[in-house]
C-alpha cells in the first residue's frame, strides 16, 4: 500500500482534515526529545495550530534510543494521522514536524541545538528518562550520567544533550533555548533545571551558573488520554485514508497543556493555539490530582465492588455516577483554593464528561493498581483539608472503605495485589479489625487523618456498611 506523504496528501478522502499551513514554508524552531504517541497526539497538535499563522515553529523530532518513530516520520515527510475518538470522532493530518533525528545522528542533533533559529526544546521521555533518583535529583551514578560526566562531547542522556546544546550556544554567544519538560512530574521545570545545573557543574561551574540564571525551565502540566496505536488501529486508519500511516495516533477529544509563563521575545503564540499560560501550574496539578485522579480512584474501587469493568460502565451506573459527581463537586472541589485561570466547577464537569466517553476503554482494575502510593495524594490530602475546615468527610471515606474491602477480597481469594506494599496491605485488610490495621499504616495514612476521631468513626461505619451489603445506601448519600 502507498504511504502517507506530501505526494499523497491531496488524494486523501474528503472527510480527512488537512493541515492549514504551507508545508514547504515550515522552518525548525523547536527540538523535541521523545516523539512517542503522547507527544504526537498532544504537543504536536498544538504546534500544528501555531504553524497555521507562524511557520517558524516546526518541530524536529529526536529519538535517542529507537529509530522506529523517526524513520516513519522521515518516510512520511513528517505527516501522520491524529484520530480523535469520542462521541463525534474526527480524523486530521498533523504536519508539525519539520525534521526527524534518530539514533546515530548526534552531529545533526548538536548542530540543530546550536542553531539560533531553534528557540525552544521540549521533552516527553517519562520520568525515568531524566535519570533522577528517588529524591527527584539527578542520579550521578546512573550509567548514562556516568558516561556523560566523562564524555560531554558524546551525550547518552537527554540531560546530557540539553546541557551540551546550551554549552555550545553559550560558547557561540547565542541566546539559550527555553526548555519545556512535558512529562507529568510535579514541579517538572524546576526538577529539570536542577538536573541540568548539576550535570553542568561537573563540567564547568560557570556554565552551571549561566544555565541556572539565564535559561527558562517553566513548569507545565499535560493531560489527554492517548490509547496505544496497535495493529488494529493502524489498519483502521489505513482503511480510512487509503494509504498506510505507520505513525498514526489516537486520543480523546479533551486535551490540556498548562504552561508557566516565561519570557521569550517574539515567541510562538501558544495561547492562541489553546495552551493555558499561568503563574500557578501547581494549582492545576493539584486540581488534576484531586478531581480527576481522586474521582478515578473512587470509581475504580467502588466500581469493582459493584462488578463494573471500565470507567464508562462505572459512570453509567446511575447511583455510582451520581455519587462521584457529588463527591467531585461538593467535597473535592471545596479543598482547592482559587487557581489563576481555572474555572474549577467547569473543570469538574469536563472531567466527569470525559469519564462518560464510550470510545475510551479505561479499565478500573488498572486504575486500582498501587493504591497505597496514589490515595495519599488523590483522596487523603483532600480529606485532611476537609477535617481542618470542619467539613463533612462522609462521602470521602466511601472510596477508602471500598479500597480496604477490595484489598480484603483480593487477599482472601489469593489474587495478586498490584502494589509496592502488597504483603503489608494483604495482612492489614484480613486482620480481625481491618480498618484499624489499615489506618495504622503511616506509609499510607498521615497521622492528621488516621488519628482523627470523626474520620475513624466515619470510615469504620462505611466499611461496615459495605460488608453488610449496603453499599447502595452509601452511594445515595
Task: Tell me the CATH number at 428.
Answer: 1.10.1040.10
In angstroms, the CA 301 to CA 293 distance is 12
Q: CB within 8 A of 383, min separation 6: which ones?
A: 393, 396, 397, 449, 455
Which pLDDT band, with edges at 50, 70 and 90, does 340 fall under? confident
Domain boundary among 234, 263, 279: 279
What does the pLDDT average to over 10-39?
Answer: 97
465 shares a domain with 347 = yes
Of the candidates 251, 274, 248, 271, the residue with the CA atom closest to the CA atom of residue 261: 271
Length of the chain, please?
477
Helix (H) or strand (E) holding 208: helix 205-214
Q: CB within 8 A of 182, min separation 6: which ones?
A: 39, 42, 43, 122, 123, 124, 188, 220, 222, 257
Domain boundary among 234, 250, 279: 279
Q: Helix 188-203 to helix 205-214 angle, to the nearest 10 degrees?
A: 160
Query: What percentage of the chain has pLDDT greater than the value 70?
Result: 100
The structural domain count of the chain equals 2
Which pLDDT band, with edges at 50, 70 and 90, does 408 fall under? very high
Per-residue model confidence (pLDDT) at position 426: 98
What does the pLDDT average to over 93-115?
Answer: 98
Coil, strand or helix at 158? helix
Q: Examine the pLDDT at 5 and tell me if it is beyond 90.
A: yes
290 shares a domain with 275 = no
Per-residue model confidence (pLDDT) at position 302: 98
270 shares a domain with 238 = yes
Domain boundary among 279, 299, 315: 279
Going through 407-446 in order, the beta strands assigned E by DSSP cover none
Which pLDDT band, with edges at 50, 70 and 90, does 477 fall under? confident
Query: What letter does residue 1 receive in the DSSP assignment?
Result: -
> Rg of the Cα trace of the chain?
24
Which pLDDT band, with edges at 50, 70 and 90, does 134 fall under? confident
260 is a domain residue = yes
Query: What letter does residue 97 receive in the DSSP assignment?
Result: E
218 is a domain residue = yes
Q: Helix 318-326 to helix 294-305 angle, to the nearest 10 degrees?
A: 150
Range of the domain at 386: 282-475
Query: What percentage of the chain has pLDDT greater than the value 90?
Result: 96
What does the pLDDT average to over 68-76?
Answer: 98
454 is a domain residue = yes
The answer to whether 417 touches 370, Cβ cutoff 8 Å, is: no
Q: Examine the pLDDT at 1 and tell me if it is beyond 90.
A: no
Q: Examine the pLDDT at 450 and tell me if it is beyond 90.
A: yes
In angstroms, the CA 247 to CA 149 distance is 35
286 shares a domain with 275 = no
Which pLDDT band, with edges at 50, 70 and 90, does 98 fall under? very high
Per-residue model confidence (pLDDT) at position 249: 98
DSSP H helical ranges for 42-121 = 43-51, 68-75, 106-114
What does the pLDDT average to over 399-404?
Answer: 98
Per-residue model confidence (pLDDT) at position 169: 98
Q: Examine the pLDDT at 315 and tell me if it is beyond 90.
A: yes
261 is a domain residue = yes
What does the pLDDT average to over 291-311?
Answer: 97
Q: Helix 294-305 to helix 397-413 angle, to the nearest 10 degrees?
A: 50
What does the pLDDT average to over 437-451?
Answer: 97
81 shares a domain with 46 = yes
The answer to whether 389 touches 332, Cβ cutoff 8 Å, is: no
The answer to whether 329 touches 345, Cβ cutoff 8 Å, is: yes
292 shares a domain with 223 = no
Model confidence pLDDT, tens digit, residues 229-268: 999 999 999 999 999 999 999 999 999 999 999 999 999 9
464 shares a domain with 438 = yes
Q: Examine the pLDDT at 94 and tell me if it is beyond 90.
A: yes
Q: Examine the pLDDT at 431 and tell me if it is beyond 90.
A: yes
Of the candidates 465, 467, 370, 367, the residue with the CA atom closest to the CA atom of residue 417: 370
321 shares a domain with 270 = no
Per-residue model confidence (pLDDT) at position 268: 98
328 is a domain residue = yes
Task: Tell me the CATH number at 211.
Answer: 3.40.50.720
Per-residue model confidence (pLDDT) at position 367: 96
1 is a domain residue = no
In angstroms, the CA 294 to CA 60 distance is 36
113 shares a domain with 223 = yes
Which pLDDT band, with edges at 50, 70 and 90, does 184 fall under? confident
250 shares a domain with 176 = yes
In angstroms, the CA 195 to CA 210 distance is 14
335 shares a domain with 437 = yes
What does the pLDDT average to over 443-461?
Answer: 97
Q: What is the mean pLDDT of the chain?
A: 96
145 is a domain residue = yes
**Total H helices, total E strands in the chain:** 24, 11
Coil, strand or helix at 462? helix
366 is a domain residue = yes
342 shares a domain with 266 = no
Amino acid at each position: 500500500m502507498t504511504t502517507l506523504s506530501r505526494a499523497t496528501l491531496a488524494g486523501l478522502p474528503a472527510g480527512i482534515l488537512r493541515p492549514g499551513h504551507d508545508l514547504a514554508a515550515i522552518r525548525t524552531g523547536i527540538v523535541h526529545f521523545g516523539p512517542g504517541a503522547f507527544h504526537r497526539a498532544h504537543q504536536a497538535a498544538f504546534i500544528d495550530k501555531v504553524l497555521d499563522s507562524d511557520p517558524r515553529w516546526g518541530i524536529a523530532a529526536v529519538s535517542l534510543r529507537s529509530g522506529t518513530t523517526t524513520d516513519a516520520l522521515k518516510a512520511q515527510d513528517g505527516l501522520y494521522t491524529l484520530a480523535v475518538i469520542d462521541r463525534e470522532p474526527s480524523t486530521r493530518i498533523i504536519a508539525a514536524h519539520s525534521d526527524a533525528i534518530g539514533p546515530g545522528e548526534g552531529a545533526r542533533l548538536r548542530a540543530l541545538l546550536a542553531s539560533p533559529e531553534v528557540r525552544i526544546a521540549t521533552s516527553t521521555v517519562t520520568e525515568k528518562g531524566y535519570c533522577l533518583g528517588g529524591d527527584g535529583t539527578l542520579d550521578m551514578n546512573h550509567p548514562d550520567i556516568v558516561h556523560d560526566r566523562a564524555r560531554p562531547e558524546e551525550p547518552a542522556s537527554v540531560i546530557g544533550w540539553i546541557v551540551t546544546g546550551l554549552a555550545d550556544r553559550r560558547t557561540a554567544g547565542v541566546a539559550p533555548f527555553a526548555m519545556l519538560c512535558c512529562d507529568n512530574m510535579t514541579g517538572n521545570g524546576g526538577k529539570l533545571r536542577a538536573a541540568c545545573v548539576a550535570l553542568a557543574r561537573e563540567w564547568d561551574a560557570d556554565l552551571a551558573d549561566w544555565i541556572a540564571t539565564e535559561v527558562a525551565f517553566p513548569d507545565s502540566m499535560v493531560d489527554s488520554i492517548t490509547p496505544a496505536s496497535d495493529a488494529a488501529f493502524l489498519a483502521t486508519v489505513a482503511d480510512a485514508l487509503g494509504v498506510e500511516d505507520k505513525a498514526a495516533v489516537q486520543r480523546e477529544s479533551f486535551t490540556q497543556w498548562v504552561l508557566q509563563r516565561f519570557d521569550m521575545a517574539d515567541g510562538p503564540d501558544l495561547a492562541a493555539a489553546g495552551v493555558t499560560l499561568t503563574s500557578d501550574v501547581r494549582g492545576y496539578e493539584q486540581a488534576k490530582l484531586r478531581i480527576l485522579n481522586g474521582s478515578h480512584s473512587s470509581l475504580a474501587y467502588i466500581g469493582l465492588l459493584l462488578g463494573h469493568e471500565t470507567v464508562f460502565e462505572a459512570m453509567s451506573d446511575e447511583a455510582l455516577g451520581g455519587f462521584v459527581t457529588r463527591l467531585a463537586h461538593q467535597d473535592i472541589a471545596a479543598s482547592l483554593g482559587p487557581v489563576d485561570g481555572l474555572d474549577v466547577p467547569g473543570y469538574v464537569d469536563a472531567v466527569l464528561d470525559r469519564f462518560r466517553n464510550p470510545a475510551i476503554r479505561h479499565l478500573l482494575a488498572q486504575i486500582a493498581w498501587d493504591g497505597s502510593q496514589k490515595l495519599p495524594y488523590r483522596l487523603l490530602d483532600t480529606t485532611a483539608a476537609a477535617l481542618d475546615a470542619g467539613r463533612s468527610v462522609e462521602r470521602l471515606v466511601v472510596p477508602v472503605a471500598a479500597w480496604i474491602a477490595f484489598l480484603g477480597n483480593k487477599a482472601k481469594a489469593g489474587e495478586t495485589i498490584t502494589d509496592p506494599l502488597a504483603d503489608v496491605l494483604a495482612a492489614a485488610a484480613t486482620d480481625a479489625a481491618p480498618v484499624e490495621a489499615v489506618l495504622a499504616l503511616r506509609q499510607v495514612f498521615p497521622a492528621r487523618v488516621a488519628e482523627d476521631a470523626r474520620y475513624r468513626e466515619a470510615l469504620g461505619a462505611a466499611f461496615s456498611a459495605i460488608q453488610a451489603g449496603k453499599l447502595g445506601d452509601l452511594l445515595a448519600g
